[in-house]
Chains A and B, each alone.
Chain A
Amino acid sequence: MSDFFTLSVLVATAASGIRLATPYLLASLGETVGQRSGVLNLGVDGVMLLSAFFSYWVVLETGNLWLAVLVGVIVGLVMGLLYGFITVVLNATQGISGIGIYIFGLGLSGLLFRRQVGTPKPVRRLPNVDIPVLSDIPHLGAALFQRNLLTYLAFLLVPATVLLLGRTTFGLNIRSVGENPGAADSLGVSVERTRFAAILIANSMAGLAGAALVLQLGIFQPNLTQGMGFIAVALVYFGAWRPVGVMSGALLYGLVNATVLQWKALGIIPVNGSDLAAMAPAVLTILALVILARRVSAPAALTRPFTRH
């Protein structure tokens, strides 16, 4: 255990934690926007799997990382169009339709992988980009400022989301539509269009999350996410529907994950008796949720389809 508490190991763990947090953060931020508008998207994991597969395939075939990222986002956008149609036009029950998307994404990504690729082959990974000056800070620089571009993007999207929700007209619309769609409607705000746009944002970010996941790992296999998307949804609750809270949740999750991995690498916990260790991040997040249970309230119209009567 004393091996763990050396500076270099701790820094490496922190770096790893931030990297691991990235897909969670991306997916969770997107889900936050969607939920603030009143839409629950449980299909995040399925979207992540599909975008992860397609991103992986693009790199495999073309070697172009940024094209892969773009494709990942586009996959998310397309899934967003589908989910938007189901939710806003058809007014389907959101929890159930989300699970449907999840199963669809899980199945299709696995199927396509087996048919198009077969055995997992490693691919190029996202390179680390050192931020000039900041990355030279001892220890902190290594942890924070020698990450890949998608990680930087993910963390920049936090203040961007705060700005979007708090200071733009679109954000005001989102917040009102998630709390009292009837009021928004009576003032001429289109509940349908606002929610559809929020869904597109949420799913595009889930797509980006999937791309980040696979391009950080450098490899794909069926069910790569192992339920990551659902954790991302839980993180929205953890963060009380606020981008900064969500970021703390993603970081907590990432760091715990990284710590578990590090302990395995150091032999502190057995590499294969790993079920308990795999549970640890989830258990810790649940504990944190319970302990920190302030009376936070969800957007009042969350999961409720809106029809003008």
Chain B
Amino acid sequence: MRSEQRLLEMNGITKVFPGVVANDSIDFDVRYGEVHTLLGENGAGKSTLVKILFGLYQSDEGSIRLRGDPTEITSPSEAIAARIGMIHQHFMLVPTLTVAENVALGTASTRRPFTDLDLVSERVAEISRQHGLAVDPSVEVRRLAVGERQRVEIVKALYRDVELLVLDEPTAVLTPGEVDDLFVILRRMADSGHGLIFISHKLREVMSLSDRITVLQNGRVVGTTTPAETNREELAQMMVGRSVNLTPHKPKREPGEVRLEVASLTVQGDREGVSVDQIDLQVRSGEILGVAGVSGNGQRELAEAIAGLRSIEAGGSIRIDGIDVTNENVRARRDRGLGFISEERMKDGAIAEFTVAENLLLLEHGSKKFTKRGMFAFGAINQHCEKLVEDFAVKTPSIETPTSSLSGGNIQKVILARELSAKPKVLLACQPTRGVDIGATEYIHNLLIEQRDLGTAMLLISEDLDEVLGLADRIAVMYEGRIVGIVPTGEASRSRIGLMMAGVPEQEARNGP
């Protein structure tokens, strides 16, 4: 159901921060009853635009009209009063409070100064029923799973009677099944007259949910279209400014002998209980084994255990090229040919304050290639690093630039350059393109496939199902610390993997939902 009157009009919005024009003369509008997606890479200006709408920033130029009337929004309270709601990428929930308390926060109570949580709970139950959003008002939010927390966020918005709802990357933490559920809810909301602004960079979802799509690049509107008039490749091109290959080209390869073997691996988590539960994996030379799963199911702990960053007192073994490395430290494992791309590049993969050259050097800094009697041989070092920067297309002003000034994609390339130039026999790659732009993602995917073709055995752990489906030869799905099943990619479908990601055993998943 769509109407011609505009719920929201933003005209000529410009916002400048020191050194960057975040929004450049942006025109954007939302109709009643539509889902209008804001699509763009990191830094394209989507977050800035909606933060202006929500009163967290003020625009430098431009105007906003709500329901036809010019409006100024200078704080979140004013936005809420204007019936605008925002569901942030990182949930704005207080974990120690109950659902009802979280919903009531910031609203006026009928029994001032006392709270009226019983009435709030009733209303929450009503909204829950009306919109198919299952939530229990009396539960503390910290006990809720991610999908449930998101429902609480939506209930919060509906409780405040929002008419225009902004959703900032809502699907980042959901399984494919939960994404489908969410989209059903959003579609219902749109059909009942709400206007929805959906921010995402996931092309598949954007195509599935949107009524209209506006693409931003470098702070400007590149164009507005509809799913019927476009496709993922075109959208990617609009986002990046050049044509992008979304599915990496993966020639068929025959895998060789087993390089990495993990047997009955059991690892303690940071809290109570075991986060990796009796995992068996084998990765062969020349193959990519993808590990799919929603974050929080033990992937991080598995990677840390294999890398040597987490001890495995609870049981199991790890072998590289047949040699038992279970009790060896990180250095020893690396010397045996293990490369590691950690999931948090700025925390574990690179040292932010170090220069690009220093980070590139970081494994071999003691090697005879680069030192003379304990002192660095800068000539050899610089030559080596310049070559790496060139070979891996790292966009950096110089090799002396602090790594923190680089974009996420380029930092990732630095890490890859360092790891891959050591010619690893086994490569452990975790979320290699998380937070990385489409262009750099394309590049990194090609790099990884090239590496596979050179004979490296690769374990790819990723929450991005498209990435796993595109790169891996076989896919293992992790759920609650266990492998639910291992499927050759040729036989894997999104729905089947999605079910397994939610814990459905392989056999059942094979038979379909």
Contacting residues of chain B (66-106) with chain A, CB-CB under 8 angstroms? 75-77, 80, 86, 88, 91-97, 101-102, 104-106
Chain B nearest CB: distance from A243 CB in Å? 16
Known: A176-B105, A186-B86, A187-B76. Is A169-B114 also a contact (CB below 8 A)?
A: yes
B94 touches A176 (CB 8 A): yes
Known: A172-B101, A179-B94. Is A187-B115 also a contact (CB below 8 A)?
A: no
19 inter-chain pairs at a CB distance below 8 angstroms, sorted by A residue, are A167-B114, A168-B113, A169-B112, A169-B114, A169-B115, A170-B113, A172-B97, A172-B101, A183-B91, A183-B93, A184-B105, A186-B76, A186-B88, A187-B92, A187-B105, A187-B156, A188-B76, A188-B77, A188-B106
Is the C-beta of A185 less than 8 angstroms from some C-beta in chain B?
A: yes
A172 touches B113 (CB 8 A): no
* Chain A residues within an 8 Å CB radius of B114: 167-169
Known: A167-B115, A187-B105. Is A175-B86 also a contact (CB below 8 A)?
A: no
B96 touches A184 (CB 8 A): no
* Chain A residues within an 8 Å CB radius of B97: 172, 175-176, 179
Which of chain A's residues has its CB closest to B80's CB?
A188
Which of chain B's residues has its CB closest to A171's CB?
B115
Contacting residues of chain B (103-121) with chain A, CB-CB under 8 angstroms? 104-106, 108-109, 112-115
* Chain A residues within an 8 Å CB radius of B112: 169
Q: Quick one: CB contact mask for B381-415 with A, threshold 8 Å, 1 for yes?
A: 00000000000000000000000000000000000
* Chain A residues within an 8 Å CB radius of B346: none
B106 touches A187 (CB 8 A): yes
A187-B92, A189-B105 given. 15 additional CB < 8 A pairs? A167-B114, A168-B115, A172-B97, A172-B105, A172-B115, A179-B96, A180-B95, A183-B91, A183-B105, A184-B94, A185-B76, A186-B88, A186-B92, A187-B76, A300-B96
B92 touches A182 (CB 8 A): yes
Chain B nearest CB: distance from A209 CB in Å? 25
Is the C-beta of B56 less than 8 angstroms from some C-beta in chain A?
A: yes
What number of A residues sit within 8 Å (CB to CB) of B? Answer: 21
Chain A nearest CB: distance from B272 CB in Å? 10
Chain A nearest CB: distance from B420 CB in Å? 36
Which of chain B's residues has its CB closest to A166's CB?
B115
- Give the CA-CA distance A180 to B106 in the complex, in Å: 13
Is the C-beta of A13 less than 8 angstroms from some C-beta in chain B?
A: no
Which of chain A's residues has its CB closest to B90's CB?
A182
Is the C-beta of A294 less than 8 angstroms from some C-beta in chain B?
A: no
B113 touches A180 (CB 8 A): no
* Chain A residues within an 8 Å CB radius of B93: 180, 183
* Chain A residues within an 8 Å CB radius of B88: 186
Contacting residues of chain A (129-177) with chain B, CB-CB under 8 angstroms? 167-173, 175-176
Residue in B95, B113, B156 whose beta carbon sits within 8 Å of that of A179 in the complex: B95
* Chain B residues within an 8 Å CB radius of A188: 75-77, 80, 106
Is the C-beta of A308 less than 8 angstroms from some C-beta in chain B?
A: yes
* Chain A residues within an 8 Å CB radius of B109: 169
Which of chain A's residues has its CB closest to B95's CB?
A179
* Chain A residues within an 8 Å CB radius of B108: 169
Chain B nearest CB: distance from A261 CB in Å? 40
- Give the CA-CA distance A172 to B114 in the complex, in Å: 10
Chain A nearest CB: distance from B149 CB in Å? 11
Which of chain A's residues has its CB closest to B56's CB?
A308
Chain B nearest CB: distance from A190 CB in Å? 9
* Chain B residues within an 8 Å CB radius of A308: 56
* Chain A residues within an 8 Å CB radius of B76: 185-188
- Give the CA-CA distance A187 to B108 in the complex, in Å: 12
- Give the CA-CA distance A168 to B112 in the complex, in Å: 8
Closest 7 CB pairs of A and B: A187-B106, A188-B77, A183-B92, A186-B92, A176-B94, A180-B94, A188-B106
Chain B nearest CB: distance from A289 CB in Å? 21
A180 touches B115 (CB 8 A): no
Which of chain B's residues has its CB closest to A180's CB?
B94
Which of chain B's residues has its CB closest to A299's CB?
B96
Chain B nearest CB: distance from A187 CB in Å? 3
Choose among A169, A173, A176, A189 the residue with the greatest number of B CB atoms under 10 Å from its CB.
Answer: A169
Which of chain B's residues has its CB closest to A189's CB?
B106
- Give the CA-CA distance A233 to B105 in the complex, in Å: 28
- Give the CA-CA distance A300 to B141 in the complex, in Å: 14
Which of chain B's residues has its CB closest to A182's CB?
B92
B96 touches A175 (CB 8 A): yes
Which of chain A's residues has its CB closest to B112's CB?
A169
* Chain A residues within an 8 Å CB radius of B106: 184, 187-189
Which of chain A's residues has its CB closest to B156's CB?
A187
* Chain A residues within an 8 Å CB radius of B77: 188
- Give the CA-CA distance A270 to B370 in the complex, in Å: 71
* Chain B residues within an 8 Å CB radius of A176: 94, 97, 101, 105
Contacting residues of chain A (178-209) with chain B, CB-CB under 8 angstroms? 179-180, 182-189
Choose among B80, B97, B108 the residue with the greatest number of A CB atoms under 10 Å from its CB.
Answer: B97
- Give the CA-CA distance A172 to B106 in the complex, in Å: 9
Chain A nearest CB: distance from B477 CB in Å? 32
Chain A nearest CB: distance from B114 CB in Å? 5
- Give the CA-CA distance A308 to B106 in the complex, in Å: 17
Chain A nearest CB: distance from B144 CB in Å? 14
Contacting residues of chain A (263-292) with chain B, CB-CB under 8 angstroms? none
* Chain B residues within an 8 Å CB radius of A171: 115
Chain B nearest CB: distance from A308 CB in Å? 7
- Give the CA-CA distance A173 to B115 in the complex, in Å: 11
